[in-house]
């Protein structure tokens, strides 16, 4: 076996492992989940005052939950229960990031609310890339 054949087989095994841990989702589900993730980031810092701020914070947390549960439900419909491999690590990191954003958003003022709105756009783009399989844990890009 020559070097090129061995490398091709290793790449094929790597692609199969990544596809098993996070199979491709429909584009519409990825767009909806990404929009919810971005809206969640943008909403947690909005609103001034007690009641309005808590309502926006709750809406942001709800958006985070939808962004996570939508792909999970699609996976369950396909017969995939639970997460394994890098996907489990990604979900842990994303959950911790969401918790930090909620805590920081709770104490945000008007200036930080604008920054959180911009972060929402970046989050939506990254979430979409992750769900489509372009971006995976460790900064490795799928080929």
DSSP state of 45: T
Residue 141 pairs in a beta bridge with: 135
Q: What stretch of H or E contains 95?
A: helix 86-106
Tens-digit pLDDT profile for residues 100-137: 888 888 888 888 888 989 999 998 998 888 888 776 65
SS3 141: strand
Per the structure block, which two tokens stand in for 15? 């692609």
- To the question of pTM greater than 0.85 for the whole model, the response is no
Per the structure block, which two tokens stand in for 133? 């399989």
SS3 82: coil
Number of domains present in the structure of the chain: 1
Domain containing residue 70: 26-139
Tens-digit pLDDT profile for residues 39-82: 999 998 888 777 888 898 889 999 988 998 888 888 778 776 66
């Amino acid at each position: 076996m020559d070097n090129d054949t061995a490398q091709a087989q290793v790449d094929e095994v790597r692609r199969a492992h990544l596809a098993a841990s996070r199979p491709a989702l429909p584009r519409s589900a990825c767009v909806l989940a990404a929009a919810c993730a971005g809206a969640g980031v943008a909403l947690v810092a909005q609103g001034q005052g007690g009641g309005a701020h808590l309502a926006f914070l709750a809406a942001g947390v709800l958006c985070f939950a939808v962004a996570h549960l939508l792909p999970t439900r699609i996976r369950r419909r396909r017969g995939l229960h639970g997460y394994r491999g890098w996907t489990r690590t990604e979900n842990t990191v994303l959950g911790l990031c969401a918790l930090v954003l909620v805590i920081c958003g709770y104490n945000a003022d008007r200036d930080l609310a604008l920054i959180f709105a911009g972060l929402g756009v970046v989050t939506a783009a990254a979430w979409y890339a992750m769900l489509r399989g372009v971006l995976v844990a460790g900064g490795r890009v799928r080929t």
